[in-house]
């Protein structure tokens, strides 16, 4: 090992330490920003160390690649709306997968490719490829460029099994005789890309938090595989940190929906069993009456869902929250783990509207004290506040943990119409004794209440 | 060669455990920045992409260079975009005392 290589490898240790430190500081919103900065310094060190590798003969193409990537990345990061973060993260997952795929592919052009290297190259191509197409499809579904409904057809499992068998077969053939010109290589490449598509089409729009987390994890695992292919420590360390992060998030999302990962991945979401028919009367309320109740409330809790993002209502919500606080009420924002289209989506939107993070509370914190809440305001959330999940054993969402807003003294539901949530299940909350429906666009309804305070 | 594989696997296993330990302490409110930050870290493939884009390849050299260049571009998108957008988001998370200007 030359001196330069030695220094490069020591620098990798420093960057690994910085990544770990950065992730540790992400443990609290107060230190998180500094943590991200440390992590980026770690990346800078790793990149510079990578550039010193003795095999690099020319830098022109590297510079071209970095320039293109920096411009695209910086523009995307600057221009993206906070409501579109899930789409953005989906695309980033895809480009991470794509990069690992390409590194694996290029490694096949090396003169000596051992069987071990070939196996890791195949893994990098497989995981990178399916992350790439899977993420692109997830992006399409999230941005509603394609239908976000789950696509399930008969024989889907058979088709998927055939793809897997094909992958294993052509993978073995390629590992025996690794060459980028081999027909087996193209088989592995094509089938991996196809597998990504097949993996995401049966998953419906509201299950996207699980898919994004899972693809996030895959992009890390792909980097790991690429690290094995080119014998690079830092790729393995960083890749496995990312892989672990994605898997933990996937697990949290699945638990929050009371479904197994297999159920999310393979079954779509069919409301097979119909829950009990709901009896009762919907009680609409006017903006003016809502104002009178809120004016007298001492404890108000907002429960946002994807509908808040769609209506872009986060800023008016925060405005109303401030008015209520000035009026002497205690205000909190209760966020269900699967509210929105990715983990933590609602938190970012409310942070964007300047809601202090102390006011953002988790489901497990709010539920024990929900009886003390005078008014719970539901904005564009449905299934995550559906009491059937707790009470009706026949309901398809039975067992899913929910925010028990029906136990609050009064519940306002801001809703466009009486349509049901993604599961297609009726929500008895809307017929509850203490529930009042405020129909209309969430943003307009809240603005209306604010002007009553005016 | 065999020893190297053992070392790499060693590193892999330890980092996975460390990853689980670290990430499970991240609060739910920061899960979106965690994901975009993880995206940035997975751009580490860049360090590997340099080798493919810059090396003088013996056979089929041009193709490998193009593949490597594309890999560099993709990975840079992750690194630059990931860190910038994470920073943008984290800057929005303010505590009560900071919030009142």
**Residue A3 within a domain:** no
**Residue B97 within a domain:** no
Mark whether A445 and A304 lie in a shared domain.
Answer: yes
Residues of B in contact with A249 (CB under 8 A): 23, 31, 34-35
Residues of A in contact with B99 (CB under 8 A): 354, 356
Contact call for A249 and B48, based on CB within 8 A: no
Residue B101 Cα, gap to closest chain A Cα (Å): 11
The residues of A that are catalytic are: 383
Q: Distances from the Cα of A280 to the Cαs of A145, A427, A430, B11, in angstroms? A: 38, 11, 9, 60
Query: Within an 8 Å CB–CB cutoff, is residue B99 touching chain A?
Result: yes
- What is the reported pLDDT for B1? 60
Q: How many domains does chain A have?
A: 2
Write out pLDDT tens, residues A363-386: 999 999 999 999 999 998 888 898
**Residue B98 within a domain:** no
Mark whether A232 and A297 lie in a shared domain.
Answer: no
Write out pLDDT tens, residues A274-320: 555 566 778 888 888 999 999 999 999 999 998 898 888 999 999 99
Task: Pick the range with the lowest mean pLDDT from A53-62, A336-345, A436-445.
Answer: A53-62
Mark whether A196 and A254 lie in a shared domain.
Answer: yes
Average pLDDT, chain A: 88
Mark whether A232 and A332 lie in a shared domain.
Answer: no
Mark whether A338 and A203 lie in a shared domain.
Answer: no
Task: Pick the range with the lowest mean pLDDT from A201-215, A312-326, A335-349.
Answer: A201-215
The domain of A443 spans: 287-453
Mark whether A187 and A307 lie in a shared domain.
Answer: no
Q: How many domains does chain B have?
A: 1
- What is the reported pLDDT for A272? 45
pLDDT band at A323 (very low <50, low <70, confident <90, very high): very high
Write out pLDDT tens, residues A90-137: 999 999 999 999 999 998 888 778 888 899 999 999 999 999 999 999
Mark whether A247 and A316 lie in a shared domain.
Answer: no
Helix or strand (DSSP H, E) at A332: strand A330-335
Return the HEC string of A152-218.
CCCCHHHHHHHHHHHHHHHHHHHHHCCCCCCHHHHHHHHHHHHHHHHHHCCCCHHHHHHHHHHHHHH
Contact call for B76 and A231, based on CB within 8 A: no
**Residue B75 within a domain:** yes
What share of chain A in percent tops pLDDT 90? 54
Write out pLDDT tens, residues A177-188: 888 888 999 999
**Residue A45 within a domain:** no
Write out pLDDT tens, residues A19-56: 999 999 999 999 999 999 999 999 999 999 988 876 77
Contact call for A33 and B91, based on CB within 8 A: yes
CA-nearest residue to B51 within chain A is A56
The domain of B40 spans: 2-92
CATH code at A445?
3.40.50.1220
Write out pLDDT tens, residues B35-58: 999 999 999 999 888 888 877 655
A255 vs A193, higher pLDDT: A193
Residues 17-76 of B with CB under 8 A from A: 18-20, 22-61, 63-76
Query: Within an 8 Å CB–CB cutoff, is residue A243 touching chain B?
Result: yes
Residue B27 Cα, gap to closest chain A Cα (Å): 6
Q: Looking at A234, A267, A300, which one is the last position of a domain?
A: A267
Mark whether A448 and A328 lie in a shared domain.
Answer: yes
Mark whether A421 and A308 lie in a shared domain.
Answer: yes
**Residue A35 within a domain:** no
**Residue B43 within a domain:** yes
Contact call for B90 and A36, based on CB within 8 A: yes
Q: Looking at A236, A267, A298, which one is the last position of a domain?
A: A267
A1 vs A273, higher pLDDT: A1
pLDDT band at B101 (very low <50, low <70, confident <90, very high): very low
**Residue B100 within a domain:** no
pLDDT band at A271 (very low <50, low <70, confident <90, very high): very low
Write out pLDDT tens, residues B47-91: 888 888 877 655 567 888 889 999 999 999 999 999 999 999 999
State mean pLDDT over A206-214.
86
Return the HEC string of A349-415.
HHHHCCCCHHHEEEHHHHHHHHHHCCEEEEECCCHHHCCHHHHCCCCCCCCCCCCCHHHCCEEEEEE
Mark whether A255 and A320 lie in a shared domain.
Answer: no
Query: Within an 8 Å CB–CB cutoff, is residue A69 touching chain B?
Result: yes
**Residue B14 within a domain:** yes
**Residue A12 within a domain:** no
**A193 contacts A132 by C-beta, under 8 angstroms:** yes
Mark whether A171 and A307 lie in a shared domain.
Answer: no
**Residue B99 within a domain:** no
Residue A70 Cα, gap to closest chain B Cα (Å): 6
> Does the predicted interface ipTM exceed a cut of 0.90?
yes
CA-nearest residue to A95 within chain B is B74
Mark whether A258 and A356 lie in a shared domain.
Answer: no
Q: Distances from the Cα of A212 to the Cαs of A248, B80, B90, in angstroms? A: 12, 20, 20
């Amino acid at each position: 090992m030359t001196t330069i290589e030695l220094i490069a490898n020591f620098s990798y240790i420093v960057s690994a330490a910085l990544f770990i430190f950065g992730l540790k500081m992400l443990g609290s919103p107060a230190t998180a920003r500094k943590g991200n900065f440390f992590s980026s310094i770690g990346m800078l060190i790793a990149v510079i160390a990578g550039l010193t590798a003795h095999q690099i003969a020319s830098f022109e193409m590297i510079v071209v690649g970095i320039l293109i990537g920096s411009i695209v990345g910086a523009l995307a990061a600057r221009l993206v709306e906070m409501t579109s973060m899930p789409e953005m993260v989906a695309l980033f997952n895809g480009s991470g997968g794509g990069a690992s795929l390409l590194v694996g592919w290029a490694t096949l052009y090396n003169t000596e490719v051992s069987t071990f290297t070939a196996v890791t190259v195949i893994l990098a191509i497989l995981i990178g490829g399916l992350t790439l197409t899977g993420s692109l499809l997830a992006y399409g579904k999230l941005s509603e460029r394609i239908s976000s409904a789950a696509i399930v057809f008969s024989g889907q499992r058979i088709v998927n099994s055939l793809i897997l068998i094909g992958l294993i077969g052509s993978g073995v053939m390629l590992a025996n005789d690794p060459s980028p010109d081999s027909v087996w290589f193209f088989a592995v490449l094509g089938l991996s890309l196809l597998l990504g598509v097949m993996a995401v089409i049966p998953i419906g729009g509201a299950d996207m938090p699980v898919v994004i987390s899972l693809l996030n994890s895959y992009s890390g695992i792909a980097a790991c595989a690429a690290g094995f292919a080119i014998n690079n420590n830092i790729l393995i360390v960083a890749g496995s940190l990312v892989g672990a992060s994605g898997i933990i998030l996937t697990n949290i999302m699945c638990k929050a929906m009371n479904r197994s990962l297999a159920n999310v991945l393979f079954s779509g979401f069919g409301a097979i069993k119909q829950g009990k028919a709901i009896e009762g009367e919907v009680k609409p309320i006017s903006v003016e009456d809502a104002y009178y109740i809120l004016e007298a409330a001492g404890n108000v809790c907002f429960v946002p869902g994807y509908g808040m993002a769609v209506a872009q209502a986060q800023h008016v919500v925060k405005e109303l929250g401030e008015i209520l606080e000035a009026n002497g009420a205690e205000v909190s924002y209760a966020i269900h783990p699967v509210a929105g289209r990715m983990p933590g989506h609602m938190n970012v939107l409310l942070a964007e509207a300047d809601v202090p993070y102390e006011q953002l509370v988790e489901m497990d914190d709010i539920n024990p004290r929900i009886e003390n809440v005078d008014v719970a305001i539901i904005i564009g959330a449905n299934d995550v506040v559906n009491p059937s999940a707790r009470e009706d054993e026949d309901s398809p969402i039975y067992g899913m943990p929910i925010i028990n807003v029906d136990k609050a003294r009064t519940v306002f539901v801001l809703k466009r119409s009486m349509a049901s949530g993604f599961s297609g299940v009726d929500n008895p909350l809307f017929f509850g004794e203490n529930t009042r429906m405020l129909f209309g666009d969430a943003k307009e309804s809240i603005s209306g209440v604010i002007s009553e305070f005016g | 060669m065999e020893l190297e594989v053992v070392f790499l696997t060693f590193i892999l296993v330890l980092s996975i455990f460390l990853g689980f330990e670290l990430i499970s302490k991240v609060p739910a409110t920061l899960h979106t920045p965690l994901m975009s930050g993880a995206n940035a870290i997975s751009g580490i493939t860049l360090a590997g992409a340099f080798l493919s884009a810059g090396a003088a390849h013996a056979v089929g050299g041009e193709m490998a260079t193009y593949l490597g260049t594309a890999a560099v571009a993709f990975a840079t998108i992750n690194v630059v975009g990931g860190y910038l957008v994470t920073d943008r988001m984290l800057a929005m998370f303010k505590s009560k005392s900071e919030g009142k200007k």
